[in-house]
Structure 1
Amino acid sequence: MRSLIQRPFARSHRDGTPFARPFANLGVLALLVGLVFTVTAVPTAYAGLGFGNRQAVGGVMIDPEGNVRAATEAEQKEMAEKVRAAINQPGGELGEATESRVISLARLQDALKEMHETGRELDDETAFLAGLQRVEYVVVDKENHDILLVGPAEPWEVRADGSVVGTKSGGSVLRLDDLVTAFRSVEEARRDGGILCSIEPTAEGRQRLQGFLKNIVLRPGQNPAFLEAGMRQAFGPQMIKLAGVPTQSRFARTLVAADFEMKRIAMALTPSPVKGLPSYLDIARNKRQSATQSPRWWMACNYDAIARDPAGQVWKISGQGVKTLTEEDIVAADGTVVSDGRQDPLAVKWANAMTEKYDSLSKEMPIFRDLRNAMDFAVVATLITQEQLDRSSGIDLGVLRGSDSLIELPSFDLPRSLSPQCSFIHGMAGWTVTASGGVNINAFGVVENQVERPELQSLVSVQQDNGSDRWWWNGN
């Protein structure tokens, strides 16, 4: 990793093709949703791969009324066809995997300014941040008034469901629009106590369900499955709550989609694609249940202590990124819930299994890698802001932070509710309903947990670039 931020000397691929290749079909796809650059009043460039108001993120659809549901196979196929038509196959250095790709935030902003000034459409290498898979290092480059993001990168391809993933790891690529959202959400997240998403039943729905269950008497050996349709109808829609991030951003949709899919796996509403990760219903079946308790799961940050050199010039971010936690909701007679921190051992077992299998699950269902990418960017943006790395490097991050109005983020349909996504277990003590979930990104807590590593100083090595202004290159 020495000479990590060595400057590039060329502005074209090895095969001579230029780096900036605009999306071929963006001009005619008026409903393409992504990152918007505005010249006067005309939107001219987009980064992001959503089509129409019923945008699919990770196989999850959100309609104009804000209702959330799983995308059908036909919808996923249609999405994949549109995405493949909209992006180019990466070539040259972008067509090769590397353990160390360096992104200059100063030069990235310059490139975005140039696109804004010339009206040039955003190319896919910028939209996908040169194939970056993860940010492992944040480097302060005082000599060039810059901040560098460093991590592994791969060429990308489109999966059958429309997800854009690395060809080597199968993991979702990092995206410029999520980086911009993360930078713009730091203060909102500070005010709201983090970036939060939850999918919650209503108190009225819980009350109706309790009334429904009071009138149910099962005969010995009777299968309760025939009751579930009526129970779901009584339960009613579940409400989506978001905080700390713009609710109409792709970032927010990623949180909702990941939460939605976690619930579906836990409750056996969709088959788990990973061996060793059964549903919670499989784990809890025929075990003693409590009629007044309901397990809740949520995904949270799972990082090692952030390492830094003594001068605060090199910062290393490591760890799996995401873990699953659980506690019990206690349901009162009026349908409201409280939590006292108690954990059901079976729910803990499922949460631990999901944490252990998270990387494998992310390859099978890219929405979970999208969630980790969002968490990574939240940590990066919070680190730069909290530690004032922009001030110490002398870089003005106005383009990414939005203070200069060059970048206009799109307005997605606001996710509001979903039809009942819940499962019911009839145990020896009554019915247990599993319905609640969420995401909690406490990037401030991650950034506060630091450790000093003097050996990171060896990564700081800047070489003159002979006039090249390319915004990414491969380190050594």
Structure 2
Amino acid sequence: MIDSDGVLRNSTAEDQSRNLEQLRSTMQGAQGDLAKATDLRLISLKGIQQMVLEAQKQGKSIPEDVYCLGGLTRIDYVFVYPERNDIVIAGPAEPWAIGPQGSIVGKNTGSPVVNLDDLATAFRYVDQARNGGVSVSIDPTEQGYRQFNQALRNLGGNVNPSQSAPALARAFGPQQVTLSGLPADSHMARVILAADYRMKLYGMNLAKPPVAGLPSYMEMIQNRSNASTQIQSRWWMACDYDAITHSKDRLAWKISGQRIKTMTETEAFDQQGQRKQTGKADPVAKKWADNFTKKIGELAVKDPVFGELRNVMDLCLVAALIESQNLQSLAACDLSSILGNRGQIETIKLDVAKSLDPQISFLQTAQGLLVSASGGVMIESWYFATQIKENESVGEAKVATAKLDNDKIWYQ
């Protein structure tokens, strides 16, 4: 949750219970054919646009099945239909419900569903994403580092991390949140910030991950005698896609790959708290990052914010693909009413996170006190949208779905 001062905090059990009850009371769930799981459901973007405009014309809310994009849990294909003036996204889908953490998830797999709000945000800010990508970073301030070093000097040579941690954390002070490429008050921004926050907690041994075989970095490094107190590791999550394949006529596109990977680099800090990138990775930090990447599929279900991050990355990639490859022109369709900069979907506006209470982990080493505190997310959708190659088998997938009715929004 984010308080009135813009500080990100863990919500209380009471808050979570109240929010879950409210969300579940308003959720109807999938009806008709949408109540059946399928390996491939096709979602018409033109149909979604028409449904949104019709609801607005009648003064009604956007239907739940439209907001949940037919229960789509991943985007594997983009199909272009010039004869129907339409672009279709496709992937596995299932009936949905509110999960234990408050996310809208598939009833069968527990994977978060792709939603209309994030779709609209990805398309509206696709040009901003072109210039530097979408990113979030949670970092200590230079002042915080200076105060921390002064607190260490005040404590003297022998520091017991368990006893001194509260005082050192107060000296460290709030950590700053830096966001670029999309509105800070958007649901998408909240997702990537929350995913970064959760990754930090797991890496720093401040929360136990809900999956087996994922020890924290601090646990992995605790017996290492040569860990430097001035060189620390930073982790961030980034996109990880295979080359996008397309049919010869460029009417069918396939997206594949891990989706998310965790990367690391060491940073050097001086006594004034100024940070310098080293371009190198600590072996233990890389081992933790690789293990986190390996576990991301399990985490996407057990801690759904990572599944939501995966969906956000898919949507950013699809938006960049459609824009960079001029697919709207190829389809002779205009989706600007919902997806353009002046789109008519009123996206969710949330409180903006500006900082968070110090989330840091301390470990006593032979060289002093080791601090772990930094993290981030980077979505370079435009880079991956240009990594393309022809593969005619992708066109066969589109042929198998060729008989589409003009009056339907989704097909399976």
Find the aligned partners of 1:335 and 1:106 in 2 and give their Cα distance.
Answer: 52
Find the aligned partners of 1:406 and 1:300 in 2 and give their Cα distance.
Answer: 30
Which one of the candidate residues 377, 384, 392 is aligned to 1:446?
384
Equivalent residue letter for 2:218: L
* Corresponding position: 1:293 with 2:194: no
Find the aligned partners of 1:86 and 1:108 in 2 and give their Cα distance.
Answer: 21
Which one of the candidate residues 57, 71, 79 is aligned to 1:117?
57
Cα deviations across residues 225-249 of structure 1 (Å, max 9, x unaligned)?
1011111011000000000011110
Find the aligned partners of 1:131 and 1:225 in 2 and give their Cα distance.
Answer: 46
Q: Do 2:99 and 2:110's aligned partners in 1 also have CA atoms closer than 8 Å?
A: no
Cα deviations across residues 267-303 of structure 1 (Å, max 9, x unaligned)?
1111111111111111011212111111110000011
Aligned to 1:141: 81
User: Structure 1 residues 180-189 or 285-294, which shifts more?
Assistant: 285-294
Structure 1 pair 282/234, CA: closer, same or farther in 2 (3 Å)? same
* Corresponding position: 1:400 with 2:334: no
- Partner-residue secondary structure (3-state), 1:400: helix
5+ residue gaps, structure 1, are 1-60
Q: Do 2:27 and 2:97's aligned partners in 1 also have CA atoms closer than 8 Å?
A: no
Q: Do 2:404 and 2:411's aligned partners in 1 also have CA atoms closer than 8 Å?
A: no
Give how far 1:217 is off.
4.0
Give how far 1:458 is off.
1.7
- Partner-residue secondary structure (3-state), 1:62: coil
How many residue pairs end up in the alignment?
A: 409
Q: Do 1:135 and 1:149's aligned partners in 2 also have CA atoms closer than 8 Å?
A: yes
Which one of the candidate residues 209, 219, 223 is aligned to 1:282?
219
Q: Do 1:209 and 1:235's aligned partners in 2 also have CA atoms closer than 8 Å?
A: yes
Equivalent residue letter for 2:359: Q
**Structure 2 counterparts to residues 304-343 of structure 1, below 5 A:** 304-343=242-281
Find the aligned partners of 1:411 and 1:156 in 2 and give their Cα distance.
Answer: 23
Aligned to 2:12: 72
Aligned to 1:130: 70
Give how far 1:473 is off.
1.6
Equivalent residue letter for 1:313: L
Q: Normalised by the size of structure 2, how large is the TM-score?
A: 0.96
Q: Do 1:289 and 1:426's aligned partners in 2 also have CA atoms closer than 8 Å?
A: no
**Structure 2 counterparts to residues 358-437 of structure 1, below 5 A:** 358-437=296-375
Q: Do 1:195 and 1:243's aligned partners in 2 also have CA atoms closer than 8 Å?
A: yes
Q: Do 1:289 and 1:431's aligned partners in 2 also have CA atoms closer than 8 Å?
A: no
- Alignment identity in percent? 39
Give how far 1:411 is off.
2.5
Give how far 1:79 is off.
1.1
- Partner-residue secondary structure (3-state), 1:152: strand
Q: Do 2:237 and 2:376's aligned partners in 1 also have CA atoms closer than 8 Å?
A: yes
* Corresponding position: 1:209 with 2:148: yes
Cα deviations across residues 132-191 of structure 1 (Å, max 9, x unaligned)?
011100011111011010100011122222221111111111100000000011111123
Equivalent residue letter for 1:381: A
Give how far 1:62 is off.
1.1
Aligned to 1:249: 186
Find the aligned partners of 1:116 and 1:324 in 2 and give their Cα distance.
Answer: 41
Q: Do 2:160 and 2:364's aligned partners in 1 also have CA atoms closer than 8 Å?
A: no
Cα deviations across residues 38-81 of structure 1 (Å, max 9, x unaligned)?
xxxxxxxxxxxxxxxxxxxxxxx112321101111211111111
User: What RMSD over aligned residues (CA atoms) do the two structures have, in Å?
Assistant: 1.4
Give how far 1:215 is off.
3.7
Equivalent residue letter for 1:359: G
Q: Normalised by the size of structure 1, how large is the TM-score?
A: 0.84
5+ residue gaps, structure 2, are none
Q: Do 1:382 and 1:443's aligned partners in 2 also have CA atoms closer than 8 Å?
A: yes
